[in-house]
Structure 1
Amino acid sequence: MKLLVKLAAAGVLFACFVAPAHAEPITGAGSSFAFPIIGKWAQTYRIAKSDGAEMTPLDIGVDYEPIGSLGGEVRVTQRAADFGASDRPLSSEELQRSALIQFPIVMGGIVPVVNLDGIGPGQVRFTGPLLAEIYLGRIKRWSDPAIKAVNPELKLPDAPINVIYRADGSGTSFNWTDYLAKASPEWRDKVGVNTQVPWPVGIGAQRSQGMADAVKSTKNAIGYAEFGQVVRAGLAYALVQNKAGAFVTPDQASFTAAAASAEWAKAKDFSLMLTDAPGAGAYPIVATTFALVPKPRTRRTQEVLDFFRLSFASGAADATALGYVPLPPALVRQVEDYWAASMKAGS
């Protein structure tokens, strides 16, 4: 019931949350980062499958639960869902061990967000090392000279920095910590990269919505979240210095520039990260959401592939409207070739 309320508030309708016992919608679980676009695609899928019928069967929908990337990995590995969605690329060894295939479905930016009096979107600037120092607890106040050095024109408060992190098993955290590890050897060695890490400082929030709510309700806070979520929540995002030294605005152009650097054809099972991408216009913290689908090819897995095939073919504009970067046509072809090679009946 709580999930239905959240969906109604977000303006997203899912195909099937209440159904008679005989109904069998496609079930998915995982990334809250990709929740809005999967919800929109699910709506489109049900309409397409209904073929214009006035009443549509309940068993042609998609039931997706945004429990976080780690939860999605667990569900699909246990065969408790028809597909998982994770913002963490699994290794080929992990996929083989769990008899799964993996492919990208959408990309998007992760941005620092702040709650500071008088500060709006795009006004505060951070470097990667500066963000790492804040999340390590080394920099404790907004008036710290290191913050002032990259924000000389801003009047920031002489107040403690209230650090907020994702407490659940989050793919957003995986990409955030991966970026911090690339920016800071100390972060890499002492904290590491994972969906859950031993955060040195801060307060934990559950899921993407929980992060947005926590930042919005906590004065002098800093957090991180998917860009579309930040815009919809009306939060103030910060600029982050990229590999080329530019402080890049998070938007469709900078996310696409980062995504364009990916060499997907060279990545086995599409296991590839987009953080700290090269390029003058590339935003430095871009994540990919991957679908995880069980082997072998069955009626259920074929329905999952049909869902994503339709989503790739007709859902790119929806992805862009929600702040994501859709897969380019060449990558869609690579994904469909991968399905043909990896998902043989009985394989």
Structure 2
Amino acid sequence: MLLPKQHVIKASLVLSAAALAMSLTACKSSGNGANQNFVLNGAGSTFVYPVMSHWAQSYNDLHNNVQINYQSIGSGGGVQQVKNGTVDFGASDYALTDAQLAGMKPVLQVPETAGPVCITYNLPGLAKPLQLSSDAITGIFLGKITTWHDPILVKDNPGINLPNSKIVVAHRTDGSGTTAAFTTYLSAVSPEWKSKVGQGGAVNWPAGVGAKGSEGVTEQVRQFPGGIGYVELTYAQQNKLPIASVRNLAGNYVQPSTASTTAAIAAFSDQLSKDPRSPIVNPPASAAQAYPISILTFLLIPKDGTDQAKRTALKGFVQYIIGDGQATAGQLNYAPLPDGVKQYDQQTLNQMTVNGQPIP
């Protein structure tokens, strides 16, 4: 499935106010809802938008009385809308901590897929993909490496004629799970980054120009020669932007892909079986083919609700995502969840209630 053109992305799944009002009226429950039409509204992660769009359409094809509208507004926005109770579900590329959960009504966090945060750039004419070590990446985003002919970049790319031109860094300005994953990686590989900038969905960037959403970062990189930024892989591919290979702890320069993300997940299988909120960045040297900037993404679902038929429809959609939907994730550069995480998801999903009672 192709990602829509960027000027269309943000609005592509959002109902008009009138249509939304009509749909919500149709969703008022009575009985089990078998003959009702439902609109399930979600919001959050731009990282997961390509596969979420696919899941929404595929599920509607199977259940034409259920329409899923998902707003690609960033993980921070999705968390806030779940907290405010204005959506049926959210999506975030970072798991909420116990402290964050304590300030909200009970929320279930369900890992939905995994994928790589890729480094994309605008350097026409290179003979092969750019190679970047952790020193190069942190130096660029700290603002210490400012030209493409810097000695660290030359060392990473032997035999490649890098231009002696300015680097234009693009980063997110909104609350972003992609940023949280990327800065978690930078903090893991660079004590200087950890002490000066740290990690989180929003940080004070030392260098670069800001943009909203993965869509905005992709557009910044595409427009400016010498540009570099971090996005979900599909955004770069659909805009025909090249993707850097990143050096892992084994010393290998690895391209982001479904396979290299799966290798990163496997390297943390023990931790994930105990707590799927564990980060999967910078896997150990034993994971020779693992991509070092990989993340799990999460659905955020209110634990309880009042509309039995609509809550049942929501549970069915999530059941599809963690079940049959996993088989299609790889087509859009996302890694299917391992069995241990899927078992965790099922146990978590079974905790959904309506008016305090389990959903059949």
Q: TM-score, normalised by structure 1?
A: 0.89
The Cα of 1:14 is off from its aligned counterpart by 4.8
User: Who is 2:347 aligned against?
Assistant: 337
- Does structure 1 conserve the Cα–Cα contact (< 8 Å) formed by 2:135 and 2:152? no
Matches within 5 A, 1:196-275: 196-262=202-268, 263-267=271-275, 270-275=276-281
Q: Which residue of 1 aligns with 2:48?
A: 34
2:28 corresponds to:
none
What secondary structure does 2:118 align onto? strand
Greater shift, 86-95 or 196-205, is seen at 86-95
Name the structure 1 match of 2:30: none
Equivalent position SS for 1:236: coil
Is the 2:263–2:290 Cα contact (8 Å) retained in structure 1?
yes
Runs of 4+ with deviation above 4 angstroms: 5-10, 12-18, 341-345
Partner of residue 131, structure 2: 125
Q: Aligned in 2, Cα 1:343/1:213: closer, same or farther, shift over 3 Å? A: same
Question: Which residue in the other structure is 2:31 paired with?
Answer: none
CA RMSD in angstroms, aligned pairs only: 2.3
For 2:302 and 2:289, the matched residues in 1 are separated by 37
Q: In 2, Cα distance between the equivalents of 1:193 and 1:7?
A: 28
Are residues 70 and 15 of structure 1, via their aligned partners in 2, closer, same or farther at CA, if it must alter by over 3 Å?
A: closer
Task: Work out whether residues 30 and 71 of structure 1, in 8 Å CA contact, stay in contact via their aligned partners in 2.
Answer: yes
- Residue 303 of structure 1 deviates from its aligned partner by 2.7
Q: Closer, same or farther in 2 for the Cα pair 1:77/1:290, shift >3 Å?
A: same
SS of 2:103's equivalent in the other structure is helix
Once residues 106 and 44 of structure 1 are traced to their aligned partners in structure 2, the CA distance between those partners, rounded to angstroms, is 16
User: Equivalent residue for 2:331?
Assistant: 321
What residue is the counterpart of 2:35 in the other structure? none
Which residue of the other structure, out of 303, 308, 313, is the alignment partner of 1:295? 303
CA pair 217-192 structure 1, distance change in 2 beyond 3 A: same
Q: State the distance in 2 between where 1:179 and 1:131 align.
A: 10
Give SS of 1:23's match: helix
Amino acid at match of 1:289: T
Whole-angstrom distance in 2 between the partners of 1:323 and 1:20: 31
**Worse-matched range after superposition: 330-339 or 167-176:** 330-339
Over 3 Å counting, the alpha-carbon distance change for 1:342 and 1:273 in structure 2 is farther
Instruction: Give 1:150 shift.
Output: 1.2
Gaps of at least 5 residues in structure 2 are 25-38
Partner of 1:71: 77
Q: Is the 8 A contact 1:115 1:219 kept in 2?
A: yes
**8 Å Cα contact 1:13/1:39 also seen in 2:** no
Q: What is the identity, as a one-letter code, of the residue corresponding to 2:220?
A: A
Offset at residue 342 of structure 1 (A): 6.4
Counterparts of 1:138 and 1:72 in 2: how far apart (Å)?
33
State the identity %.
34
Separation in 2 of the partners of 1:126 and 1:302?
47
Moved more, 109-118 or 331-340: 331-340
User: Partner letter of residue 47 of structure 2?
Assistant: F
Paired amino acid for 1:38 = M
Which residue identity lines up with residue 37 of structure 1 in the other structure?
V
Secondary structure of the residue aligned to 2:155 is helix
> For the residues of structure 2 that align with 1:283 and 1:228, how far apart are their CA atoms?
16
Question: Following the alignment from structure 1 to structure 2, what is the Cα–Cα distance between the partners of residues 162 and 21?
Answer: 44
Q: Give aligned pairs, total.
A: 332
Displacement, 1:312? Answer: 2.4
Q: 1:340 deviation in Å? A: 2.4
CA contact (8 A) 1:36 1:322 kept: yes
User: Which amino acid letter does the alignment assign opposite residue 217 of structure 1?
Assistant: Q
Cα 1:242–1:301 shift into 2, 3 Å: farther
From the superposition, tell whether residues 47 and 7 of structure 1 become closer, same or farther in structure 2 (CA, over 3 Å): farther
1: distance between equivalents of 2:14 and 2:60?
6
Cα distance in 2 between the residues matched to 1:9 and 1:204: 20
**In the alignment, which residue of structure 2 is the partner of 1:147?**
153
Query: d(CA) in 2 for partners of 1:158 and 1:244?
Result: 30
1:9 Cα offset (Å): 6.0
Q: Which residue of 2 aligns with 1:161?
A: 167
Q: Using structure 2 for the length normalisation, give the TM-score.
A: 0.86
The one-letter amino acid paired with 1:304 is L
Hey, what does 1:280 align to over in structure 2?
288
Cα distance in 1 between the residues matched to 2:336 and 2:185: 22
1:43 aligns with 2:63: no
1:84 and 2:90 correspond: yes
Q: 1:167, CA displacement in angstroms? A: 1.3
Equivalents in 2 of 1:243, 1:345: separation in Å?
Answer: 49
| Partner Cα distance (2:325, 2:6) in 1 | 19
Listed as ranges, the gaps of 5+ residues in structure 1 are: 51-56
Residues 332, 344 of structure 1: CA spacing in aligned structure 2 closer, same or farther, 3 A cutoff? farther
Shift of 1:170: 1.2
In the alignment, the residues of structure 2 paired with residue 294 and residue 341 of structure 1 have an alpha-carbon distance, to the nearest angstrom, of 10
